[in-house]
Structure formats: C-alpha cells, structure tokens
Amino acid sequence: MPCAYSRRAGFAQALAVARQADVVVMSMGEGEDMSGEARSRAHIGLPGVQEELVRAVHATGKPVVVLLNTGRPLIFNWTADHVPAIVCTWWLGTEAGNALADVLFGDHNPSAKLPMSFPRAEGQIPVYYNHFNTGRPVGTEGAGNFVSGYRDVLNTPRYAFGHGLSYTSFAYDNLVLDQTRMPAQGRISVTLNVKNAGPRTGDEVVQLYLRDRVASVVRPVKELKAFRKVHLEPGQTASVRFEIDREMLSFYNDQLQWVAEPGEFDLMIGAASDDIRLRTAFELLP
C-alpha cells in the first residue's frame, strides 16, 4: 500500500475543519494508479487509514457524506453501517465537481444502478447475483447448520447488482401477462405500473429477471433479461411494458446448442436484483 494512504499527519487539521462545518463531504477511495490493468489488490478495503479518518470525523457528530472514488467494488463495512449518505462516483472527468455538486445539492436526482455486486468480505468473492442454486440453499440468513452459508458473514453482498437510490420513491403494482402459456415460437407481453410515490421528480430503472425452474443443465437463480428507464413527476404513474420471446428463454445446453426448453419460468420485476417487487410465473410449451 502506498505510504501516502497510511499517514495520519493531517487528521488533526481535518477534524478541526470538520468541527466548524455544517456537513462534512469526504472524498475517499483508490488513487488513480490503483485501478486498471495490472492493478490487482488482494485486499479491497478502503486503502490505508481512510476508514479511520471516516470514524474520527463521524465521532464529531457532524453529518457526513462519503464520495467513493474507485474502479472496482470496495469493502467499507464500517462506513456503510454508520454513514447515511454514500455516493459511488467511480472515476469521473474534469466536470466531476460540478456533477457531484448537482447530486449532493439535489439539483439532479440520481437514478444509476450498480452494474456489479459489492461484497462484504474478500472471502465472498466471486459474488454475483446470477449464481447457481446449491443442494442446501440458505433459506434465511444465519439459519441453522448444514446449509451453503458462511459462518461469520451474511451470504448476501453488501450492495447487490442493480442497487441504486433516489431522492424519491417508486411503487410497483398491477403486473399482468397477456398469457401464462407461451407457444414455442410465441411471445408474452408483460405490463406493470410504476408510480412516483415521493416528493421529487425522478427516473426509475425497472428490471425484469427470469428463472428457468428446471433445465437439462443448471440454470442461475435469476437473470436480468430486460430493463426500462421511466421518468416520472411526483404522483405520476406510468405503464411499463416488456415482451418475452423464445430468445430470452434460451441458453447453451451440454451439446453447446442454443435452445429454449419447455417448462416453467419464474418472472420477477424489481428495482434491484435483491429488491424484487412483483412476481409471477408462466410456462413455455413444447
């Protein structure tokens, strides 16, 4: 770890400034030379003593916002547990300051969703939403012995694929399929309503996931198959439509053939892979 990330020399000055502030915005994360080709890290926590500084500033009692500069998922469990506002900025360009100010001051309502899962610990890696089921799946986190769960950490990621917050809230309802038995070369039309149930104009990314219940090879517990972004004023409701076809249900079998096998499929609509709001099922006919 570069020695610059291990220095505490500026802590006293940072705390003095924090005590005089109304809100403390802390830009933390990786340096520009820590992500990219040939930049692997065995431990992906916040580098050096950065989380120590977050703890110290948090102890002043001032409201804290953390900006997370990174090119990969990081582990920052104490910060995630104690800091109420965290913005994952990734690596932004020359207008980063203006863009982030627009978000922090509420001039822009964020709508982005994570394209990857953030683990709680390195031991969970690889961690991803579209994993296979196991012979002894975890029904409830922390439940019992003889299940495929960790003994010292939850199975779930800290932040799941598709996660993202907004300054407003969205309600999902009225999921309708035009048919529940899909002919081999047919299609199913899926509609639902999304309402902006909060006080601010915002955009929501509605995500459609499918699960093939039984197949000739093991299939994931869910797969993102489509998404729609809708812009809604406060109180406004929009109808969102998806279309499921044979291609969406296909996969490579053990003969490397691209096939869709007849059977039952679970359909899930959500705001993230771990925030499924609506569910139903349908059957693909022979």
pLDDT tens-digit readout, 60-104 = 999 999 999 999 999 999 999 999 999 999 998 899 999 999 999
Are both 180 and 265 inside the same structural domain? yes
Residue 139 has pLDDT above 80, yes or no: no
Residue 160 domain-assigned (yes or no): no
Are both 99 and 174 inside the same structural domain? no
Residue 141 domain-assigned (yes or no): no
Residue 142 has pLDDT above 80, yes or no: no
Last residue of a domain, one of 81, 104, 127: 104
Q: What average pLDDT is seen over the chain?
A: 94
Residue 256 domain-assigned (yes or no): yes
Residue 106 has pLDDT above 90, yes or no: yes
Residue 276 pLDDT? 98
Residues 172-225 have pLDDT tens digits of 999 999 999 999 999 999 999 999 999 999 999 999 999 999 999 999 999 999
Mean pLDDT lowest among 47-61, 113-127, 136-150, 174-188: 136-150
Residue 80 domain-assigned (yes or no): yes
Residue 35 pLDDT? 85
What CATH number did the domain enclosing 34 receive? 3.40.50.1700
Residue 132 domain-assigned (yes or no): no
> Cα–Cα distance between 72 and 229 in angstroms, integer?
24
At residue 51, what are phi and psi to the nearest 5 degrees? -70, -25
Residue 53 in contact with residue 18, Cβ under 8 Å? no
What CATH number did the domain enclosing 275 receive? 2.60.40.10
Residue 279 has pLDDT above 90, yes or no: yes
Question: Which tokens go with 172?
Answer: 């999902």
> Containing domain of residue 41, as a range?
3-104
Mean pLDDT of 257-268: 98
Are both 177 and 278 inside the same structural domain? yes
Last residue of a domain, one of 104, 119, 152: 104
Query: How many structural domains compose the chain?
Result: 2
Residue 266 domain-assigned (yes or no): yes
Last residue of a domain, one of 47, 81, 104: 104
